[in-house]
Structure 1
Amino acid sequence: MPEKLEFKRHRRLRSSDSMRSLIRENFLRTDDFIYPIFIIEGTAIKNEVSSMPGVFQVSLDRLKEEVEEIHALGIKAMMLFGVPSEKDEQGTGAFHESGIVQLATKLIKKEFPKMLVVADTCLCEYTSHGHCGVIYNQDVDNDESLKLLAKTAVAQAEAGADIIAPSNMMDGFVAVIRQALDDAGFENIPIMSYAVKYASAFYGPFRDAADSTPQFGDRKTYQMDSANRKEAMREAASDIEEGADFLIVKPALSYLDIVRDVKNNFNAPVVAYNVSGEYAMVKAAALNGWIDEQALVMEMLTSMKRAGADLIITYFAKDAAKWLND
């Protein structure tokens, strides 16, 4: 008899949909999603963002219906971005008690007290120059910017935000915001730090949505170089030491290696931000009939979970929740 050839039969565990489901390692849930929403000043506004089909700028009087939809889908957290009607050099609207994000937060917490409100803590949407801090000699002054970011975080917490999410990438921003929150009596408000935020070309559509394009230069002196990996670990380590409770990696899709590195090296929840450019590319291809949108989106989001993300900030949250609920 001929000698039996020995090899592994891996296909045994792929033989049917039921078998594949039985041994599946990673799963998506609606609890994994944080839905970003853009709050614009004015009334009766629901503007679709031209570069992000299905994503809208919503005025306060239209906000309740938007949150009702999100809540009905089982999504339990949203991230708020403000689109103010007036801007200035200091980004005053970011930390004013009547700032658009503060007003939106109060409305949401009144109508939907169990909805988790994550407040993006930055100045870029509110500054006339579009940068994430105070400008001095055509550059962002790190330490002066920290003072305004601390004021913004406290104002957001006072309005009822459940989580403060500083995205500015100033050195020391977690330490300063943590101290400010503690001093104001908000010791129990966690910080979801944009610990690893790259200077990425994937942010273009977001700048349409948030009207936050820099009026000069770029953000490469404070956001990270996309070629760097070890630097990400230094950034995340600093934020953990300074008191961060969550660590965001942004963008997600081209940085899944960084998501895994952060997961392996730090004992904190890891959040992948599936950014606007990633969303826009998929939507454009879907609208042209080039892809199966549902299959691609679910594969993409699952890849972020597989890489180590505990949570995903994504503009696909509503679509993904509908597909999961079917």
Structure 2
Amino acid sequence: MYKPVIRPRRLRQSAAMRRQVRELNVHPNELILPAFVREGLSEPQEISSLPGIYQHTLDSIRRVVNEAAEAGVGGIMLFGVPEQRDAVGSGATDPEGILNRAIRVVAEEAGDAITVQADLCLDEFTDHGHCGVLDSRGRVDNDATLESYNEMAVAQAEAGAQILGLSGMMDGQIAAARDTLDDAGHEDTILLAYSAKYASAFYGPFREAVDSQLQGDRRTYQMDPANRREGLLEAHIDIEEGADIVMVKPAMSYLDVLADVSAAAEVPVWAYQVSGEYAMIQAAAQNGWIERERAIAESIVSIRRAGADAVLTYFATEYAQSLRW
């Protein structure tokens, strides 16, 4: 009988041994919780396509912040859902708009316990659902949109956001925002570039979460899912323009792009486990097809293993609570 000389299984024979030789351990601080605050609600409202996730009031979001901070979660990324929208998304730049009000509430509640992050994009605030303002032919006007983004950046920084997540995929958005923030005295505000953001089918539940008014699609500014090298190019451009952190979104279907960006970037690289990725795990688990907790852990570990320094995930607080540190 052949006796193997090399036996990798020796290091797998007990839970204690497996823990000791594990190559990667996720820390709660490496998790960021996306959260929604909706104008006009009297109580939190569950999002049907995101079981367990809610649109929050300005009061209930405080509890979300405290639970996340107590679990050791590193940050919270805020999205605002307004009652009224218009063609240019004016609610996004209004200091009394729902997102800017939510930033102030969360910044007050969070203190130094958790980083306060804000989505910087017009899609939640426009009546056409696009991430920018439209020209006379109905196309997203890149350079006109940058002007709105610059106003948003200052409004969010003044409201108390420490990290601004520029998710609109407009050319030049990082350079424009950096110059505008510096001129306004917000040199310390951090810019998170959604550098490799793909035109993905996995955003579906998010559209419900923000009551999206989207007409058409976003393929003229979000990336083609078939393009790998372009993801690295976009990250390089954003870093050159002054991005402090770069992002790959979605995460699980783009682990190759994430690995490329992580290997090349000299700044932190984050990834977003998006709404559809969350919803698929939840739906499969509810049908008894997968082991829910194991699937959550495996999915987040895979994103970290591919090179993400931090992961935006709707599982952030729950998963952080399950980790032993």
TM-score bracket, normalised by the shorter chain, equals over 0.9
Task: State the alpha-carbon separation in 2 of the partners of residues 201 and 43 from structure 1.
Answer: 28
Q: Distance in 2 between matches of 1:291 and 1:154?
A: 45
Residue 52 of structure 1 corresponds to: 50
State the TM-score, normalized to the length of structure 2: 0.97
Alignment of 1:67-86 (within 5 A): 67-86=65-84
TM-score (norm 1): 0.96
For residues 14-33 of structure 1, what are the structure 2 equivalents within 5 Å?
14-33=12-31
> Secondary structure, in 3 states, of the residue corresponding to 2:323?
helix
Unaligned stretches of 5+ residues in structure 1: none
TM-aligned CA deviation for residue 81 of structure 1 = 0.3
CA contact (8 A) 1:198 1:251 kept: yes
CA contact (8 A) 2:110 2:116 kept: no
Corresponding residue for residue 322 of structure 1: 321
C-alpha distance in 2, partners of 1:318/1:311? Answer: 14
- The RMSD of aligned alpha carbons is 1.4
2:188 is matched by which residue type in structure 1? N
Aligned length: 323
- Mapped pair 1:140 → 2:145: no
* Matching residue's letter, 2:44: K
* Residue type at the aligned position of 1:266: A
Question: Equivalents in 1 of 2:212, 2:168: separation in Å?
Answer: 13
> For the residues of structure 2 that align with 1:26 and 1:105, how far apart are their CA atoms?
33
Structure 2: runs of 5 or more not aligned:
none
What's 2:169 paired with?
A: 169
Aligned pairs for 1:109-124 (under 5 A) are: 109-114=107-112, 115-124=114-123
Q: Is the CA contact (8 Å cut-off) linking 1:124 and 1:130 kept in structure 2? A: yes
Q: Deviations over 1:199-226 (max 9, x none)?
A: 00000000000112412x2100000000
Deviations 1:238-295 (A, max 9, x none): 0000000101100000000111000111111110100000000000111111111000
Q: Counterpart amino acid of 2:57?
A: S
Which 10-residue stretch deviates more, 65-74 or 158-167?
65-74
**C-alpha displacement of 1:25:** 0.5
- Find the aligned partners of 1:65 and 1:323 in 2 and give their Cα distance: 19
Cα distance in structure 2, aligned partners of 1:69 and 1:145: 36
Q: Does 1:89 align with 2:87?
A: yes
Residue equivalent to 1:281: 280
Contact kept, 8 Å, 1:194 with 1:249, in 2: the verdict is yes
Instruction: Work out whether residues 44 and 62 of structure 1, in 8 Å CA contact, stay in contact via their aligned partners in 2.
Output: no
Cα distance change of structure 1 residues 210 and 43 upon mapping to structure 2, 3 Å threshold: closer
The reply on whether 1:293 has 2:292 as its aligned counterpart is: yes
4+ aligned runs moved over 6 Å, structure 1: none
Which amino acid in 2 is paired with 1:195?
A: S
Give 1:229's aligned residue.
228
Instruction: Quote the Cα distance in structure 2 between the aligned partners of 1:73 and 1:237.
Output: 34
Alpha-carbon distance, 1:6 to partner? 5.7
Structure 1 window deviating more from structure 2 (48-57 vs 18-27): it is 18-27
Q: CA deviation at 1:49?
A: 0.3
Percent identity, aligned pairs only, is 49
Counterpart amino acid of residue 259 in structure 1: L
* Structure 1 residues 64-86: Cα deviation after superposition (integer angstroms, max 9, x where no partner): 22222222222131000000000
Conservation of the 8 A alpha-carbon contact between 2:66 and 2:109 = no
Seen in structure 2, the aligned counterparts of structure 1 residues 288 and 5 have a Cα distance that, compared at 3 Å, is closer
Alpha-carbon distance between aligned partners in 2 of 1:187 and 1:255, rounded to the nearest angstrom: 32
Match of 2:266 in 1: 267
Q: Which shows bigger deviation, 103-112 or 144-153?
A: 103-112
